[in-house]
Amino acid sequence: MSSESTPGPGDDRAWREFLGAWVRNPLRVGAVWPSSTRLSEKLARIAPRHGAPVVVEMGPGTGAVTAQVAARLPPEGRHLAVELDPAMARYLQRTHPGVEVINGDCRKLTELLAERDVRTVDAVISGLPWSLFDRGTQREILGQVVGAVGETGAFATFAYSHTMPMPSARRFKATLQETFDEVVVTRTVWRNMPPAYCYLCRRPRA
């Protein structure tokens, strides 16, 4: 399998941090391996390259997507990351000092952003394990996303291909379609462990 699918020797520490978070709270971490470079790049594409964009990550983990977003953002851009696990948040802040890491709950996303004088954002990218959430939690967090992106921002997230038959995964897709006017499902990223696909969403419904 390609090196894009799994971390290399230099990523052992990131893998240990990720595994530690899963051990501490398996119901909040949907995988035991960080996203591959290929998947991270696909998610990061919604981050604008020009101007002074504001991009928010939810559940950034050890920073696989964070690195790709940082590589795209212009110097005037602002990059915030909301991580629930305190140890993961500390690790992310050490390894990505240019990112504003927030140790908090994404169910309070708009409140957390308002505390930092952020009212609307250009893009929200999520690494949250949606298939582990009930529909009420899914809707609650998506409501926060809608409040953040407004009418002009974009939202990107991913799901593992093997979860597609799960009722919670099907509910999540239906909830996305209820929430956004445009929901694009990408091709499967096979160079990921496990294989995954992305949802790219725009124009929240009234």
| pLDDT for position 144 | 98
Has residue 85 got a pLDDT over 70? yes
Count of domains observed in the chain: 1
Three-class DSSP labels, 145-204: HHHHHCCCCEEEEEEEHHHCCCHHHHHHHHHHHHHEEEEEECCCECCCCCCEEEEEEEEE
What band does 206 get if pLDDT is binned at 50, 70 and 90?
confident
| pLDDT for position 26 | 43
> What percent of the chain stands above pLDDT 70?
84
Has residue 156 got a pLDDT over 50? yes
Flag whether 151 is in a domain.
yes
> Does residue 98 or residue 30 have the better pLDDT?
98
Flag whether 15 is in a domain.
yes
Flag whether 1 is in a domain.
no
Has residue 98 got a pLDDT over 90? yes
What band does 11 get if pLDDT is binned at 50, 70 and 90?
low
What band does 23 get if pLDDT is binned at 50, 70 and 90?
very low
Has residue 24 got a pLDDT over 90? no
Supply the range of the domain harboring residue 88: 9-204
Average pLDDT over residues 86-107: 95
| pLDDT for position 20 | 47
* Distance between CA atoms of residues 181 and 49, nearest Å: 24
At residue 142, the 3 state secondary structure works out as: helix
| Number of neighbouring beta carbons within 10 Å of residue 16 | 12
pLDDT tens string 42-73? 999 999 999 999 999 999 988 999 999 999 99
| Number of neighbouring beta carbons within 10 Å of residue 10 | 7
What band does 13 get if pLDDT is binned at 50, 70 and 90?
low
Question: What is the pTM assigned to this prediction?
Answer: 0.84
Residue 52, domain CATH: 3.40.50.150
* Distance between CA atoms of residues 30 and 160, nearest Å: 9
Burial class of residue 121 (count of CB atoms within 10 Å of its CB; 0-12, 13-18, 19+): buried
Flag whether 94 is in a domain.
yes
Flag whether 4 is in a domain.
no
Flag whether 47 is in a domain.
yes
Flag whether 2 is in a domain.
no
Among 7-16, 107-116, 167-176, name the one with the lowest average pLDDT: 7-16
